[in-house]
Structure 1
Amino acid sequence: MDQLSRIEGLRAAMRNEALDAIAFIPGSSFRYLTGGTFHVMERPTVLIVPLQGRPVVVLPDLEAESWDVLGFDAEVLRWRDEEGYAGAFAQAARLLDLPVIGVEGLSMRVIERNALQAAFPRSELKDVQAATLSLRAVKDAGEIEHLRRAVKMAEAALTLTLAEVQIGMSEREIQLAMMANVLKQPITGPVSPPLVLAGANSALPHGHAGEYRLKSGDALLFDFGVGSGGYRSDITRTVFIHDVSAEDRELYDVVLEANRKGHEAARPGLSCHALDDLCRGHLEASRFAPYVVHKTGHGLGLDVHESPMVMRGNHALLAAGNVITIEPGLYWPGRLGVRIEDDVLITEAGCESLSTLPRELLVLA
């Protein structure tokens, strides 16, 4: 990780947004800039990167040693529980003159915002989430390698799990088997419980595994990912148990063709709007149009959902180094849902699918 170039990229974004600084709490952007992961808890930790001059970090005394090993050049303002954090924030204000401070609206909590506002009472706090996400949108070689590893491990875990699936198993039992197979991989975090949804539950795009037990003819949807160096894969496959009806096969084939069209079209210079319009347009031209409920995809990296969003209305152009998902889906309430999701690297020549598991309809005997 080249910290200096990332800080310079951040400062270029500040100039574009007319900011004097951006303040970060622990999370993906914090890690992207410093390499550090810290708990978000009752003790505020805030990194303030000014447009000019040395960054300042306010952090609890118990995190000081963890900060020091990062080797990140910053003025460190430590505080102890019995003292409280107000004094450290006030000291930051004495060091920095910041009329406009950017914050990430999706992650900045009220406790840190209030601490900043109290220490910088005349400063304007401005949500710059879009700018910080854009900063991370184009991945470097190291980031891409982590994503490759994350995809490979996820696919290995799914392959093992599919071999264990049997009629009569519950969604929860399959989910536990999947978690066990994930933990067999050399993961370096993070890991979240996979979505495992069967039968009519598969029509819930973000449902939760429960006690429903597999029957012949059911769709079985897996949506999950694992981590490598903090970077996350995110893949979905939908299979069928023992048998598949002609109508369910037809619906599956519509989703499969939308996925194929996305792979065929994705390239630098194509807008996210155009890619979504192509994939969703295919779904909407079918007789299953009422069952389209979401956009085609999203960026992937330290967050499962990050820039760029592959959706209508986002006219940002894809660029080499973007990693996105292509995940068309159809969700027929009370019957089934089908989603086929791949992790796709935009290359100079077009795109490369990092996920390689077969997409064609699979019926588990």
Structure 2
Amino acid sequence: MQNRLEKFRTKLAGMQLDTALITKRENYMYLSGFTGTSANLVITPNKAYLLTDFRYAEQSSKQAPLFEIIQHKQDMNETIMELINSENIRAIGFEDQSVSYSEYEVLAGKLKGTELKGIGPVVDEMRSIKDEQEIEIIAKAVKIADDALMQVLPLIKPGITELDVAAELEYRMKKLGAAGPSFETIVASGLRSSMPHGVASQKKLELGDTITMDFGALYNHYCSDITRTVFLGQPDKRLLDIYNIVLEAQLAAEKGAVRGRTGREVDKIARDIIYGKGFEGKFGHGLGHSLGLEIHENPRLSVGGHKVLENNMAVTVEPGIYVEGLGGVRIEDTIIIRDQTPQILTQAPKEIIIL
């Protein structure tokens, strides 16, 4: 935490600022260690304050020992104003990309005489490079999802619903140590599998169905993300062909996801294979995204992903093909960017599975 604070202060100095107000939950967690749901940080060149309420007084003092804990009044902005006035602060950076306009108006009204300057995604960008402890936690979240899938596959049979499958996945993840799912579980079967984000429904599984499961575990506040597509009974041969194309694209893009390439360049590896097989327009989303304290972080592996990948970024690689009236296939792993050989965290099998 000390290293993170000092790095953040250095970045602030580069923006001609020495003080910042941090309000986004994932960012105050990252800089302080405090995991409660209500807090603001005020960070100056020499001091670090954590403002929270009575509910979190004890928790914050234990989790954020580098911060002076202040229990705020009923209106947190009043306490922020008093603190800024006591420190004689004339300009303060704020997270303009996560503060709503109405919140900004209230804050500006309270801090008359103090200039508010947006700092953009500076903390989010710091978070994009994971340290080894973060990678270990994400790897555990990935393993929980892997293990949950392997426990649920034998339970999949005709007559149960997509919601049944989702409930089993989420139950197994919790039994394996997850706090819960890292996002709303997607289970899309049969013709519904052509919908990339077809969240679980009351549809009953039938023989011949394609079943796409996209889910993740939340472990120690970090997310994992996995997609596997399986078949219940013998599927349409066209779907088997699509599966093999998606797998080819996924493996190639995964191998090419190395330090120094842009997200756009990695996306192109998979897109060229899929489009070259005659499925242009059937892979309409980006190849992947970063993840960590949030399920969707930057940088992105997509057509618009111009940021250069760096070591220790955690990203997903998830190409898919979706054909309305037939079905769809997506395969997704969570990986860590390395110099030449990405570290593949997801270990669930990717060969065709017919249940």
AA in 1 matched with 2:40: V
**Residues 294 and 86 (structure 1 numbering): CA distance in 2 closer, same or farther, change over 3 Å?**
closer
**Residues 279 and 15 (structure 1 numbering): CA distance in 2 closer, same or farther, change over 3 Å?**
farther
Corresponding residue for 1:330? 321
AA in 1 matched with 2:58: E
Corresponding residue for 1:79? 72
Q: Report the CA distance between 1:110 and its aligned residue.
A: 5.4
Corresponding residue for 2:10? 12
Corresponding residue for 1:171? 162
After alignment, is 7-16 or 108-117 more displaced?
A: 108-117
Alignment map for 1:34-49 (pairs within 5 Å): 34-40=32-38, 45-49=39-43
Q: Say if 1:30 and 1:36, in contact at 8 Å, map to a contact too.
A: yes
Q: Say if 1:89 and 1:116, in contact at 8 Å, map to a contact too.
A: no
Alignment map for 1:110-149 (pairs within 5 Å): 112-121=103-112, 122-126=114-118, 128-129=120-121, 131-149=122-140
Alignment map for 1:152-171 (pairs within 5 Å): 152-171=143-162
Q: Say if 1:190 and 1:230, in contact at 8 Å, map to a contact too.
A: no
Alignment map for 1:58-97 (pairs within 5 Å): 58-81=51-74, 84-94=75-85, 95-97=87-89
Unaligned runs of 5+ in 1: none
AA in 1 matched with 2:41: L
The one-character-per-residue Cα deviations of 1:335-361 (angstroms, maximum 9, x if unpaired) are 312110001112234212100112122
Corresponding residue for 1:359? 350
Q: Distance in 1 between matches of 2:102 and 2:59?
A: 22
After alignment, is 241-250 or 189-198 more displaced?
A: 189-198
After alignment, is 10-19 or 305-314 more displaced?
A: 10-19
Q: Report the CA distance between 1:61 and its aligned residue.
A: 3.1
Q: Report the CA distance between 1:30 and its aligned residue.
A: 1.2
AA in 2 matched with 1:128: G
Q: Say if 2:170 and 2:180, in contact at 8 Å, map to a contact too.
A: no
The SS at the match of 1:101 is strand
Corresponding residue for 2:312? 321
Q: Distance in 1 between matches of 2:73 and 2:125?
A: 35
**Residues 79 and 100 (structure 1 numbering): CA distance in 2 closer, same or farther, change over 3 Å?**
closer
AA in 2 matched with 1:65: E
Q: Distance in 1 between matches of 2:147 and 2:102?
A: 41
Identity %: 27
After alignment, is 295-304 or 306-315 more displaced?
A: 306-315
Paired residues, what number?
Answer: 353
Q: Report the CA distance between 1:112 and its aligned residue.
A: 4.7
Corresponding residue for 2:176? 185
Q: Say if 2:258 and 2:337, in contact at 8 Å, map to a contact too.
A: yes
Corresponding residue for 1:281? 272
Q: Distance in 2 between matches of 1:189 and 1:178?
A: 10
AA in 2 matched with 1:288: F
Q: Report the CA distance between 1:307 and its aligned residue.
A: 2.2
Q: Distance in 2 between matches of 1:189 and 1:213?
A: 24
Corresponding residue for 2:299? 308
Q: Report the CA distance between 1:100 and its aligned residue.
A: 4.5
Q: Could you tell me which of 257, 264, 272 is aligned with 1:266? A: 257
Q: Distance in 1 between matches of 2:102 and 2:71?
A: 17
The SS at the match of 1:334 is coil
Normalised by the length of structure 1, the TM-score is 0.90
Normalised by the length of structure 2, the TM-score is 0.92
After alignment, is 231-240 or 195-204 more displaced?
A: 195-204
Q: Say if 2:19 and 2:42, in contact at 8 Å, map to a contact too.
A: yes
Q: Report the CA distance between 1:127 and its aligned residue.
A: 5.3
Corresponding residue for 2:31? 33
**Residues 135 and 68 (structure 1 numbering): CA distance in 2 closer, same or farther, change over 3 Å?**
same
1:99 aligns with 2:88: no
